Each structure stands twice: as structure tokens, then as C-alpha cells.
Structure 1
Amino acid sequence: MGRREFSEEFKREAVALVLEQGYTVTKAAKALGIGESALRRWMGNRRPVAGAPVVGLQDGSAEQRKIRELEKRVLELERERDILKKFHGLLCQGTGSRYKVIQEAEKAYPAAVVCRVVGVARSSYYAWKARQHKGRSARAELVREVQAIHAQMRQSYGSRRMSQELSRRGHVVGRECARRLMREGGVQARVRRTHRYVRREQTSAIAENRLDRAFAVTVPNRFWAGDVTYIWTQQGWMYLAVVLDLYSRRVVGWATSGSCDTFLVIRALQVALQTRRTEPGLMFHSDQGSNYASLTFQQFLREHQIVQSMSRRGNCWDNAVVERFFCTLKGECVGERAYRDHAEAHADVLDYILMYYNQDRLHSAASHMPPAEFEQLKVETA
């Protein structure tokens, strides 16, 4: 496929995730589907500074990189020194076994780091912790786990997804048991408002419905679908365009703007093309909106050898996957929030898409795994 080219806008967006929104380079690169080295190169010698605007990118010198590496190593050595001092002090206090001392030190430091510094296998420590909790009420633990999942997953999981998430975490729990645990924990999935659509059967004069609701796709980067929705802010409406890969239901392209025009949907598709490896013949499905029917958008598809497919007029079921995503987005993220401006809404929506929906949220069409994990499993087993 050759080397991928990224636009300056995409680079600024990627750098902003680290410099302005506080993500690590590893986490941001994974969410965007790019290499860490590329992201570090775009960042240059810039460091995260609260409120600092993202400006031009430049490569850092070898000396600057060496200094950063040495500073990082100094911080690690200082932390190891503090851990050993705390470990020794707790032992002198007669806290108990070394495992109990690690448990106390874990309140201030990550357990993995403490175990490494004091020379204790993490598996041995975690096995000891498991034995310590053996006498506790399993029911009460499950209820607390359900409450934690409920908060972590934005109050969106019903009994079906709750039972699946508990199973992923090592608890064999059926749907009925999950429902009872949710009732005991006082948690309930957030109820979303429904909308009734008028169904019509008019076909598009631009492109036929080539997808024909064949949403069960077995290969990635062959069938994409997109649409536009709107989000209210105190600055006015912000429009969001997305592109989903029907194989994993992962959001692979996105763009926001104060105008719902052709350039908005082109930008979303450009992001998808930059972050994914595609081949000629890729199909892109959408509704019959004017931005997707424009001559500029059709020309863009032809230049990239993308086959266009369109839903029948007024038939939202022909693009049900994207419609369902928007319903989930507004139920779990946007809700009734009153964003101050487009920048705040953009940051919140992008965090939901890249860090939660793609990376953590279970999806039934992805074998009850997060989309990113489902794609990675496909790569590992190929």
C-alpha cells in the first residue's frame, strides 16, 4: 500500500490529544491507529502544558531526547527509593508479612511497581490477595463489581451486557443473575428516548443501495458506513460526521464543524483513509443527504476508487448501524449536557469515541468485545 500520508489537521488533532487532553502517547496512538514514533515526531520537543494552544510541529534534537530519557529515569529511581523506604518502615512497624506490607504500600504506589522493586512476583502477591478475600461474601463483591461497571460504562449496560462484562472479568454470571445483582446494587441502564421514522421507498438517482442491509461483514476495511448528526452547544449547533467499519463497528473516521456541508463528510472520510489500510473497491454507504450526493463528494470517492452506496429515501433502517451508533452516543455521552462551546463538545465526543466506544465498550456485533479488541484478535489469529 506504500507509506500513508497524514494531513496537517490530523496531526494537530493527534498532538492535541496528548498536549491538551492529557492522554499518554501510547494511548493516543493506539486510539488513532498510528505509530507512537510518528506521534512523538509530530509532537517534537513540546510537553503537555495546561491551556497551551497546539501550534507548529518540529522534531526534537537528539540531546533533548536524551535529556528527557534521563529525567524519566531519575523520576523512576526516586520512586523506587521512596518505595524501598516505605517498605522498610512498614516492616519495622511490624505490619506483618511482606505481602501485607506490599498491600499497604499499594495505597501510594502501583502494586506492579512495588512488587518489582522489592523482588516479589506479582502472581504470588495477587494469589495471596485472592486468598485473603476468600472468606468475604462473594455476593457483596459481585454487587460492588456491578456498581463499578455501571459507573465505568456510563450507566449504559443492561442485564445482557452486564453478564457478559462480568464473565470477561472472571465471574460466571447469567443474565438473570446479573439482573438481580443490578437490582440489589440499585443500578439501572439509562433509558433513551425513541424516535419514530417515516418509511419511504424512493431510490437515489446518485447511487443504488448496493449494501442492501448486509451489515454482517467478515473482513475489515471493505464496507464502511457514514452519517451526520448534530449536537447542541451554547455557541450553536455542532455537526459530527462519522465513518464506521461494518466489520467491527469501530469508528474509523470523524470530523466536527459548525457547518453541515460536503467538506465535513469529506474530512471524516479522509481521517478514515489515513488511519486504515484500504484497497480499491471499498464500499461507502450513506443516506441521501445533500452533502453525500454532491458532485464534490462523488469526485472524492472516484479519486480514491471507492464505490458509493445510498439508502432509500427516508429509510433509516438501510443505514441502521450508524443510526444505532448516534443513538448510543447521545444516550451515553451527550445526554442533556449543555456544552459551553464547540471545543468542549468536540473534546468530550472525541474522548467517548476513541477511548471508550472503540476501546472499552462491548459490542454484540464484535463477538461481545470492544471493536478495537475484536480487530486485534482477528490480526493475531490470521
Structure 2
Amino acid sequence: MTKYPKEFRAEAVKLVLEQGLTLNEASSKLGIPAGTLATWVSAAKSGGDKPAPGARTVPELETEIAKLRKELAEARMERDIIKKAGSVLCSGITARYAWIDEHKQKFPVAAACRAMGVSRTGFYDWRGRPPTVRQQENERLKLAIRAAHVQTRETYGVRRLKPELAAMGFTAGRDRIASLRRQMGIRCRQKRKFKATTNSAHALPVAENVLGQVFEPTAPNQVWTGDITYIPTDEGWLYLAGLKDVFSCEIVGYAMGERMTTELVSKALFRAVQYQRPPPGLIHHTDRGSQYCAKAYRDLQTQFKMKSSMSRKGNCFDNAPIESFWGTLKNELVHHRRYATRAEAEASIREYIEIFYNRQRRHSRLGNLAPAEFTQKYRESARAA
């Protein structure tokens, strides 16, 4: 039976109680059983789950997403009309109006007029050639591109946007998508540099580099990489400790706090073990930060029968997987927000990890699947073998 983190359950309940999604819509979006979600919602209504302090309500983009979903549904209908109309699109305006009149019981007149390139109240006052089929398709594709751009939080380039559009029912090549994006002035959020936070200037014992930059596990829970980063808020720094599964790219454990301590990284490790239940022998790789070299943390690794591994001094590439996630988190979220409180930052980061990164964000290395979906498919395949 799958165990879900408390934070994920809380964010899932928000989709129903605060954002107005139905149980079926929310469960489909998150890839969890509707019955399970219904149980969580019922518990929340009765006071079983309380929202995290400072948790955000409806994100700023949700209103725009709702609007674009409606427009996208209209675009799909217009696409169906074009398929049905066929050669009529190449005929004169009179023939187009005749087709609309014949099919008005099946297709709304407004949508049919848009798809056929004519006015609802009469003929267009044409100033030149009417738009070609290709031009009409491009307009619908532009609408889909903008909807996908918003839904993916303005983080997808052309490579990842292509399968996202295909999942929405719009098939197009990379060059065509790139060209339309340029016409619309759409760009991904810009990258910014960030620096490391852990302190390796200490006399504590350091583990050897067992991993050796060989990031090639063959199953989940074989290699985890961990690190600490910081998030600026008006109250001061918020420190985030995380553990990433190298096989699935999933963030399996994380913790946030005001101080960068051994207790913080220990909370992240406990959380990962609680929900993943890794087998003995898992390689646990981090940098040489004093928090990870502390005896209390090394004792936890021994208790969980993990094999400790640490990066070479000053070599960030030895811990590239989790460093890559920090870059993604900051480029896609943190650098575009200003947090008034640590609680506000915690809620935002928790929602990003639990809802978007682990369960929705496509990874090219995973065949354009989200980490949770990739892991699920692997386990289903392993059970069937």
C-alpha cells in the first residue's frame, strides 16, 4: 500500500477545498485514487488535517489557467470542426455558411464561424485573402502553447513542451513550436547563479567518495544524494535540506528550518526513510558539510544500514544530481518570488516539490515523465516481469 507524505496530502486537499477542483479532477491531476483523496478531504473538513502556517491559497496563476483551459476546450472544438468540414474549407464563403447551418445542432455557431473563418453576422469584410488552414491551425496551436506555458509555470523549453502539447492533443514539430513561441514572445524563466552553503572547514571524519560521479543506479532507492541550500525571506534565511533519488529524480526527503544544523538534515533523512523504506546498502552521498559528518548523522546512516559517500573537497560535480535540483528550484520558483515570512516560503516550496516537481514536471532523462509516474511504471513493470 502506497504511503503518501503528510505535506503531499495537505497540498492535495487544497486542490479540492481551496481551488475548486472535483475529486476526479484532482485525483487525475495527481495520479492518486479518487477514494483516497476523498478520505483526506473528509478528514480535513472534520479538522483532521490543518493547513501549514502561512500556506498560500489560490496561486496567482490559477485564474489565468482556468481561463486558458476554457479557451483550450474551444480550440479543441474548432479543431474537430475543421476535421469534419474537410474540403469545405477550400470552398467559397457561401459553401462554408451552408455547412455551418447544416451542423448547427452539433457545433455552436460561434465556434463553427471561428473555425471556418467567417463572421457570425455576415461575411467578413475581407481586406485580403482569408486565413489558410495552416494559419488557422497555428492560431489554435498558439493558444495551446500559451496554456501549456502557464500550466508548466513558464519553465518548459521547446524540447519538453512538445510532449506536453501532444498530451493536450496538439501534435507539432520542434521548429514549428519554437517559431510560434518567438512570435508570441514566450521565454522560459531566466537562470541565476547561486552559491553553496555547507561548511567543509572542520576536523570531523569524512567518508570516501564511493559514488565517484557514477550516477547510474538501476532501480529506486539505490543512490540518494543530499545537500543544503538557503532561501531568502524578509524574516531572514530559510534553510532547506533535501535528498534526491538519482534513479527517479524524485525528492524523497526534505526539511526546512531557521538554522543549518545536523537536526535539519536528520529530519530530511527520517522523512525519506519513513516513506521510501530503502533496502540495506543504499549509497547516501553528500558533500563534506559538518552537518553530514557529525556523529549523530553518521549513526543514523549506520542505523538505516546505508553506505556513506562524500564528495571530494571543493568538487560540486561529485554531487551533481542534488545541485541540479537546487538550480531548478531557484530558477523556476525562488528567484521569481519575494517571501515575507519563512512560513510563506515553506508553503510555496512544499507545494512546488510535492505537487509540481515530483508529480507533474516532465524530465527528459525519464522519457518525459514526472518522477512519481516514472517510479510507478518501473514498479509495475518489475511486478509484471
Q: Is the 8 A contact 1:33 1:276 kept in 2?
A: no
Deviation at 1:163, TM superposition (A): 2.5
1:181 aligns with 2:168: no
Deviation at 1:52, TM superposition (A): 6.1
The corresponding residue for 2:142 is 143
Deviation at 1:151, TM superposition (A): 1.4
1:268 aligns with 2:276: no
Q: Equivalent residue of 2:292, what SS?
A: helix
The corresponding residue for 1:233 is 233
Q: Is the 8 A contact 1:227 1:241 kept in 2?
A: yes
Q: Is the 8 A contact 1:14 1:32 kept in 2?
A: no
Which amino acid in structure 1 is aligned with residue 152 of structure 2?
M
Q: Is the 8 A contact 1:14 1:28 kept in 2?
A: no
Q: Is the 8 A contact 2:224 2:243 kept in 1?
A: yes
The corresponding residue for 2:73 is none
Q: Is the 8 A contact 1:17 1:28 kept in 2?
A: no
String of CA shifts for 1:278-324, please: whole Å, max 9, x gaps: 11111111111110110000000001101111111111111111111
Query: Following the alignment from structure 2 to structure 1, what is the Cα–Cα distance between the partners of residues 157 and 8?
Result: 33
The corresponding residue for 2:70 is none
Q: Is the 8 A contact 2:144 2:170 kept in 1?
A: no
TM-score, normalising length from structure 2?
0.67
The corresponding residue for 2:60 is none
Q: Is the 8 A contact 1:235 1:340 kept in 2?
A: yes
1:362 aligns with 2:370: no
String of CA shifts for 1:86-132, please: whole Å, max 9, x gaps: xxxxxxxxx9637759x9xxxxxxxxxxxxxxxxxxxxxxxxxxxxx
Which amino acid in structure 2 is aligned with residue 320 of structure 1?
A
Pairing of 1:183-262 with structure 2 (within 5 A): 183-194=182-193, 205-262=205-262
TM-score, normalising length from structure 1?
0.68
Query: Following the alignment from structure 2 to structure 1, what is the Cα–Cα distance between the partners of residues 250 and 9?
Result: 21
Query: Following the alignment from structure 2 to structure 1, what is the Cα–Cα distance between the partners of residues 29 and 43?
Result: 21
Pairing of 1:1-382 with structure 2 (within 5 A): 11=6, 13=7, 16-17=10-11, 22=18, 40=39, 45-47=43-45, 97=105, 137-194=136-193, 205-382=205-382
Query: Following the alignment from structure 1 to structure 2, what is the Cα–Cα distance between the partners of residues 32 and 315?
Result: 38
Q: 1:279 to 1:28 in 2, by over 3 A?
A: farther
Q: Equivalent residue of 2:339, what SS?
A: coil
Q: Is the 8 A contact 1:18 1:48 kept in 2?
A: no
Unpaired segments of 5 or more residues in structure 2?
54-102, 112-132
String of CA shifts for 1:231-276, please: whole Å, max 9, x gaps: 0111111001111111110111111000110111111111111111
Q: 1:180 to 1:46 in 2, by over 3 A?
A: closer
Q: 1:261 to 1:271 in 2, by over 3 A?
A: same
Deviation at 1:343, TM superposition (A): 1.0
Which amino acid in structure 2 is aligned with residue 260 of structure 1?
M
Query: Following the alignment from structure 2 to structure 1, what is the Cα–Cα distance between the partners of residues 272 and 260?
Result: 18
Q: RMSD across aligned C-alpha pairs, in angstroms? A: 3.8
The corresponding residue for 1:69 is none
Query: Following the alignment from structure 2 to structure 1, what is the Cα–Cα distance between the partners of residues 300 and 236?
Result: 29
Query: Following the alignment from structure 1 to structure 2, what is the Cα–Cα distance between the partners of residues 145 and 309?
Result: 45
Q: 1:141 to 1:220 in 2, by over 3 A?
A: same
Deviation at 1:217, TM superposition (A): 2.2
Percentage of identical aligned residues: 34
Q: Is the 8 A contact 1:316 1:323 kept in 2?
A: yes
Q: Is the 8 A contact 1:240 1:255 kept in 2?
A: yes
Q: Equivalent residue of 1:284, what SS?
A: strand
String of CA shifts for 1:204-228, please: whole Å, max 9, x gaps: 9521111111113221111111111
Unpaired segments of 5 or more residues in structure 1?
56-94, 104-133
Q: Equivalent residue of 2:375, what SS?
A: helix
Aligned length: 302
Deviation at 1:153, TM superposition (A): 1.4
Q: 1:195 to 1:347 in 2, by over 3 A?
A: closer
Q: Is the 8 A contact 2:11 2:355 kept in 1?
A: no
Q: Is the 8 A contact 1:34 1:275 kept in 2?
A: no
Which amino acid in structure 1 is aligned with residue 147 of structure 2?
A
Query: Following the alignment from structure 2 to structure 1, what is the Cα–Cα distance between the partners of residues 157 and 328?
Result: 13
The corresponding residue for 1:120 is none
Deviation at 1:156, TM superposition (A): 1.5
Query: Following the alignment from structure 2 to structure 1, what is the Cα–Cα distance between the partners of residues 223 and 346?
Result: 26
Q: Equivalent residue of 1:308, what SS?
A: strand
Q: Is the 8 A contact 1:286 1:319 kept in 2?
A: yes
String of CA shifts for 1:25-51, please: whole Å, max 9, x gaps: 89699979999769948x8855178x9
Query: Following the alignment from structure 1 to structure 2, what is the Cα–Cα distance between the partners of residues 351 and 187?
Result: 25
Q: Is the 8 A contact 2:52 2:347 kept in 1?
A: no
Query: Following the alignment from structure 1 to structure 2, what is the Cα–Cα distance between the partners of residues 343 and 139?
Result: 43
String of CA shifts for 1:141-180, please: whole Å, max 9, x gaps: 1111111111121211222222232334344433322211
Query: Following the alignment from structure 1 to structure 2, what is the Cα–Cα distance between the partners of residues 19 and 359?
Result: 15
Q: 1:340 to 1:374 in 2, by over 3 A?
A: same
